[in-house]
Structure 1
Amino acid sequence: MRRWLPHTLAGKFLVLQLGVVALVLIVAAAVSARQSQAQFRTNAADRILGAAESLAANPTVRDRIGSATAAADLAPVVESTRIQSGTSVVLIADLDRTIVAATDPTLVGTRLTLPDDSAWSGRAWDGDLALAGDELIVAGTPVFATASSGDPAAVGLAVVGEAYPSAWSSLVSDVPEVAFLLGLASLAGLTGSFLLARRIKKQTRGLEPAEIATLTDQREALLHSIREGVIGVDPGGRITIANDGARDLLDLPENCVGRPVDELGLEDDVVDVLAGRAAGVDVVVLHRDRFLVANRRTARTAGREGPRSGQAIGTVTTLRDRSDLIALQRQLGATRSVGETLRAQTHEFDNQLHIISGLAQLGEYEELREYLATITARRAQVDSTIRDLIKDPPVASLLIAKSSLAAESRVELILSPDSHCDRLGADLSTDVGTVLGNLVDNALDAVANSAEATVTVEIVSDPAQVRIVVADSGPGIPQNADDLVFARGFSTKSSTVAGGRGVGLSLVRMICLRRGGWVGVRSGQDAATAVGAVFTAVLGRVAGDAADADPATDASEREQERA
């Protein structure tokens, strides 16, 4: 149906330019024809007016215009005037406006009607006139008869007319010039089309328009069909691409494309990743109540020849929502902690059963009774203390499990008598368990293989928040590392584990900030009671936007607030 249309970019440009040239030529031809008509009228008016004046001054015309044989007598005169002037019609009329002589015999005896009556009053006139079906430009000059005395009197009117040339004849007369202009314009269009197509194909990587359209359709379909967020940022820090997934995950406005990343009201961690200030693979960032995994890569031009080959044109960041996975990991961490505690208790119970079995075999029943009373009273005392101070079952069970784990590791876990925690909501209880479990685990790792190792835990809840303080007797934190300990990937442990270290405290910080609280650490080596490190975490009862809390707040201010 459209097979005659060219498929290449150069061919399409050529057809377009030739169409424009043809349109211009048509308009130019119309203007040229109109100008030819105007020029013809100007030139012909002077010529026919001179012929009419010469005819009116002819003595024969003056003498014979009123005779009965005027038509025959004046016929040679009017025909001679027509031939000499090159006009179309020459005629003579008397004052009664009757044509008495004409080059066209059919006009003799007919009435001459002119658009302007001033011609009959002795004044020369020129204008357009329709005569015998032809459109003419005519000029009329009065014929005066010489009187013996007095002024000459007008006795008739000499009229000379010439027909307007047709528009086609005007165009035909300009054919050589039009053909030359058409050829010149076609050559210019062909050359311009070739150069323009070459320039555009260079900028479009050699792709034809159909290929560009297909590529654009595929790009749009791909970007808006995937669930993950995709954001493109140019070297100037402005967003160039944002698919539906990215708009939903980051709550971006509809007009985000073209705006700088720093002006979209995103969290600092997200802005650092998008702007390239934070590097890494599977970087976890927090946006409001979502945990997002971000990966950022640099986009470069295709590997073609030229100065722009391989040049960086921006970055592409992919975002995945891992809120559900993070919540599952937190619950799994709590479950794993309980499992480790049960395993530690298994070892402890095995040792106790061995002692009980040995005392029974030796017949030391009195010693056996005292041993059982001791371990029962100690276990009951620990459980009773935790249950009296901590009313939330999940948190209380976690403390009991951690107490058994600490005992297995020969670490004394002390619950501060100032602690009191009422029953918490399900979400808050889960977050408190996650924070408490991570802080206690870090404290147990810090005091491992230490003499007289102790870990002190204090939990205080009120209607607005929950405060958790975990202190240990370990070596403390490195100097000037108060902020770094909460960064993802930072760890003071030299061993490696699957997935990497430095995750627990980063997760603690995210949870605290998400609940409008904060978390901080200070060294207690200079205090009256020497302790290695004191971690303080505050969680709001209602989860909200991350507060503008600084994790590096001065330790003395936090200690005053805790007190």
Structure 2
Amino acid sequence: MRLGLQGRFLLMLCLVSLLQLVLLSGASYYYVSEQRYQEVGDQALDVARLVAREPGVIAGVKRGDRARLNVLVERMRAEVGASYIVIGDAQARRLVHPNADRLGKPMVGDDPQRALQGEFYISRAQGSIGGALRGKGPIRDEMGKVIGVVSVGYLVRDIDADLRGFLRFGLFCTLLIVLLNSAAAAWLARRYKRAILGFEPEQIGRLYAELDCTLRTVREGILTIDEQGRLTSLNPNGIRLLRLDEQAARAAIGQPINQLLPGSRMLSLIQDPRPQYDEEIVLNGQPLIVNRLPLVQDGRLIGAVSSFRRKDELAELSAQLSQVQAYSDLLRVQTHEHNNQLGTIAGMIELGATQEALAFIGREAATEQTLLSFLMGAIAKPKVAGLLLGKYHRAHELGLVLIVDPDSCLLDIPARVSGSQLVTLLGNLIDNAFEATRRHGAPYQPIRVALSDLGQDLILEVEDGAGGVDPGLAGRLFEHGVSSKAEPGHGIGLTLVRKTLDALQGTITIEATAQGSCVVCYIPKEV
């Protein structure tokens, strides 16, 4: 079973701390034991020198008086705390020994010749009493002649018994530290898991991969900053939309956003964390539509995120939508009109008025064909001709009159002006004229459309008889959401007209007429 984050933290910290403490405790124990053995060895050597200089010991060795030597040496051993003191004669035979049955026998454990040759030294060996750390040296008479050997020993088991207390204390400290680390690991794991919203590391990795893939696939540019205004991320489409060098953009991560994009105005969201939607800005020379939102976690501002798209992409989508709507209206109106005409023809036939039915068919066909031939011959863009034909039928359906100026001509259209853009302009202007005429209650007043490609401009005129523009709205008609209609959802058409003309570097004027107003669009053929 896979451990969770808390279990991993606990296991990892416990194992690491245990390994460190075992190594530290082992090193400490080795150092302390070596120091202790060195101290005991030095102490044994000092006691050996003391015993070798003791006059009573020298006299006893010279006389070979074992009884007095054993009493004297035992008293000295008790005073210094040695495990034993052994004294041998010049042939290294024992004169003093804790075990009486060993008296007179040769000293064992190591070669006593070094002491008989006059050297004091420390040795560690297995003697007759057991393993011991011993200080050995010669016993000299008044003339300096070596007459015996002294060996002062401290049993290894007694030294190790002292060290076991230190070892127990070290193990207790190790256990205590492991327990404290376990508690710290549990607290740290809970705190860390709260910070990552309860996710496991594998889940965070998957979420990061999904987020990175999402940021690469969305068409919008997305950038984020932290609460200090430093850039934290910028997706590939954002780099492309802003026309940035990819390496420079990647290097800017972690740097203040104003170093890479001075005009981003992202810091305004840090100072005033209120969402900002559909704001038009020019960033790095690119016209953009920007949305900005604050990033808030646990009620605290931790940064901001911004998504952006090129302004002309939105205008293109709006134009395409207008074009699709126009085609849809055209098909619906034509279907409705043809149904009416078929119903009229069917009624005439049932009444036996076949000649009248044939005449009606001829008139309708001639009218339709005349208008269609005129539009196809006067306008180079089939989309525009189709739009006008559809609006003609739509006007008839609404009980209005749409007149296309017979002198209209739109053949010399520059390549930079697309049919979709002309459809956006004419479609929205004609729809506004329809609505204004119906609202004004003057269906008998025709809506006139005139198109011209003479001179240096394309000129599009839409005139209505709806009483003119409200003076209170004249200066704001092209702002988003501004409309003379009280119902929501209006105020979009003229905004699209303005954006399309801005893209074409054209102009628009609204002129008052005797019955209403005339909207004129000027599109330069050359920029």
TM-score by length of 1: 0.56
Rate the CA distance shift 1:92–1:481 in 2: closer, same or farther, 3 A: farther
Asked whether the equivalents of residues 145 and 154 of structure 1 are also in contact (C-alpha less than 8 Å), the reply is yes
SS at 1:278 equivalent: strand
Find the counterpart in structure 1 of residue 329 from structure 2. 336
Asked whether the equivalents of residues 277 and 290 of structure 2 are also in contact (C-alpha less than 8 Å), the reply is no
In the alignment, is residue 159 of structure 1 matched against residue 158 of structure 2? no
Rate the CA distance shift 1:423–1:168 in 2: closer, same or farther, 3 A: same
Q: For the residues of structure 2 that align with 1:325 and 1:270, how far apart are their CA atoms?
A: 27
Rate the CA distance shift 1:18–1:461 in 2: closer, same or farther, 3 A: farther
Q: For the residues of structure 1 that align with 2:29 and 2:280, how far apart are their CA atoms?
A: 77
Q: Which moved more, 1:390-399 or 1:220-229?
A: 220-229
Q: For the residues of structure 2 that align with 1:349 and 1:562, how far apart are their CA atoms?
A: 48
Shift of 1:458: 3.3
Find the counterpart in structure 1 of residue 484 from structure 2. 492
Find the counterpart in structure 2 of residue 277 from structure 1. 276
Rate the CA distance shift 1:521–1:347 in 2: closer, same or farther, 3 A: farther
Q: Among 98, 106, 128, which residue is 1:108 paired with?
A: 106
SS at 1:409 equivalent: coil
Q: For the residues of structure 2 that align with 1:135 and 1:481, how far apart are their CA atoms?
A: 114
* 1:409 partner letter: L
Q: Kindly report the root-mean-square deviation, in angstroms, between the aligned alpha carbons of the 2 structures.
A: 6.8
Find the counterpart in structure 1 of residue 451 from structure 2. 457
Asked whether the equivalents of residues 459 and 467 of structure 1 are also in contact (C-alpha less than 8 Å), the reply is yes
Q: For the residues of structure 2 that align with 1:482 and 1:422, how far apart are their CA atoms?
A: 30
Q: For the residues of structure 2 that align with 1:234 and 1:70, how far apart are their CA atoms?
A: 98
Asked whether the equivalents of residues 330 and 389 of structure 2 are also in contact (C-alpha less than 8 Å), the reply is no
* 2:151 partner letter: V
Shift of 1:446: 4.6
Asked whether the equivalents of residues 322 and 423 of structure 2 are also in contact (C-alpha less than 8 Å), the reply is no
Rate the CA distance shift 1:445–1:183 in 2: closer, same or farther, 3 A: closer
Find the counterpart in structure 2 of residue 130 from structure 1. 125
Q: For the residues of structure 1 that align with 2:267 and 2:32, how far apart are their CA atoms?
A: 71
Higher share of residues assigned helix: 2
Asked whether the equivalents of residues 101 and 108 of structure 1 are also in contact (C-alpha less than 8 Å), the reply is no
Find the counterpart in structure 2 of residue 429 from structure 1. 419
Find the counterpart in structure 2 of residue 501 from structure 1. 490
Find the counterpart in structure 2 of residue 139 from structure 1. 135
Find the counterpart in structure 2 of residue 534 from structure 1. 520
Rate the CA distance shift 1:51–1:108 in 2: closer, same or farther, 3 A: same
Q: For the residues of structure 1 that align with 2:275 and 2:340, how far apart are their CA atoms?
A: 50
Find the counterpart in structure 2 of residue 363 from structure 1. none
Asked whether the equivalents of residues 296 and 315 of structure 1 are also in contact (C-alpha less than 8 Å), the reply is yes
* 1:108 partner letter: P
Find the counterpart in structure 2 of residue 409 from structure 1. 400
SS at 1:490 equivalent: coil
Asked whether the equivalents of residues 274 and 293 of structure 2 are also in contact (C-alpha less than 8 Å), the reply is no
Find the counterpart in structure 1 of residue 429 from structure 2. 439
Rate the CA distance shift 1:183–1:562 in 2: closer, same or farther, 3 A: closer
Q: For the residues of structure 1 that align with 2:175 and 2:266, how far apart are their CA atoms?
A: 62
Deviation per residue, 1:256-310 (Å, 9 max, x gap):
998999999899999999972227xxx999x9xxxx9999998877xxxxxx6x7
Unmatched 5+ stretches in structure 2? 345-352, 354-358
Q: For the residues of structure 2 that align with 1:411 and 1:418, how far apart are their CA atoms?
A: 17
Rate the CA distance shift 1:325–1:43 in 2: closer, same or farther, 3 A: same
Unmatched 5+ stretches in structure 1? 302-307, 352-359, 361-367, 538-557
Q: For the residues of structure 2 that align with 1:435 and 1:32, how far apart are their CA atoms?
A: 89
Q: Among 49, 54, 58, which residue is 1:53 paired with?
A: 49
Asked whether the equivalents of residues 275 and 293 of structure 2 are also in contact (C-alpha less than 8 Å), the reply is no
Shift of 1:394: 3.3
Q: For the residues of structure 2 that align with 1:346 and 1:263, how far apart are their CA atoms?
A: 65
* 2:430 partner letter: V
Rate the CA distance shift 1:422–1:166 in 2: closer, same or farther, 3 A: farther
Shift of 1:331: 2.0
SS at 2:509 equivalent: strand
* 1:534 partner letter: V
Find the counterpart in structure 1 of residue 509 from structure 2. 522
Within-5 A mapping of 1:256-267: none
Asked whether the equivalents of residues 89 and 102 of structure 1 are also in contact (C-alpha less than 8 Å), the reply is no
SS at 1:47 equivalent: helix
Q: For the residues of structure 1 that align with 2:437 and 2:264, how far apart are their CA atoms?
A: 35
* 2:400 partner letter: S
SS at 2:51 equivalent: helix
Q: Which moved more, 1:159-168 or 1:265-274?
A: 265-274
* 2:82 partner letter: T
SS at 1:485 equivalent: coil
Within-5 A mapping of 1:154-303: 154-155=146-147, 157-165=149-157, 169-170=161-162, 172-174=164-166, 196=187, 200=191, 236=227, 276-278=275-277
Shift of 1:167: 8.3
Q: For the residues of structure 1 that align with 2:478 and 2:48, how far apart are their CA atoms?
A: 114
In the alignment, is residue 396 of structure 1 matched against residue 396 of structure 2? no
Q: For the residues of structure 2 that align with 1:388 and 1:144, how far apart are their CA atoms?
A: 142
* 1:437 partner letter: G
Q: For the residues of structure 1 that align with 2:36 and 2:332, how far apart are their CA atoms?
A: 111
Shift of 1:145: 2.1
Rate the CA distance shift 1:403–1:414 in 2: closer, same or farther, 3 A: farther
Shift of 1:336: 0.7
Asked whether the equivalents of residues 292 and 306 of structure 2 are also in contact (C-alpha less than 8 Å), the reply is yes
Q: Which moved more, 1:445-454 or 1:212-221?
A: 212-221
Shift of 1:203: 5.4
**Sequence identity (%):** 21
Shift of 1:156: 5.1
Shift of 1:319: 11
SS at 2:478 equivalent: helix
Shift of 1:130: 3.3
SS at 1:51 equivalent: helix
Shift of 1:56: 1.1
Rate the CA distance shift 1:433–1:329 in 2: closer, same or farther, 3 A: closer
SS at 2:276 equivalent: coil
Rate the CA distance shift 1:169–1:76 in 2: closer, same or farther, 3 A: same
Shift of 1:52: 0.9
Q: For the residues of structure 1 that align with 2:79 and 2:226, how far apart are their CA atoms?
A: 84
Rate the CA distance shift 1:33–1:457 in 2: closer, same or farther, 3 A: same
Asked whether the equivalents of residues 523 and 533 of structure 1 are also in contact (C-alpha less than 8 Å), the reply is yes
Asked whether the equivalents of residues 124 and 133 of structure 2 are also in contact (C-alpha less than 8 Å), the reply is yes
Shift of 1:50: 3.5
Deviation per residue, 1:398-427 (Å, 9 max, x gap):
3345456668734543366564246989x9
Asked whether the equivalents of residues 276 and 292 of structure 2 are also in contact (C-alpha less than 8 Å), the reply is no
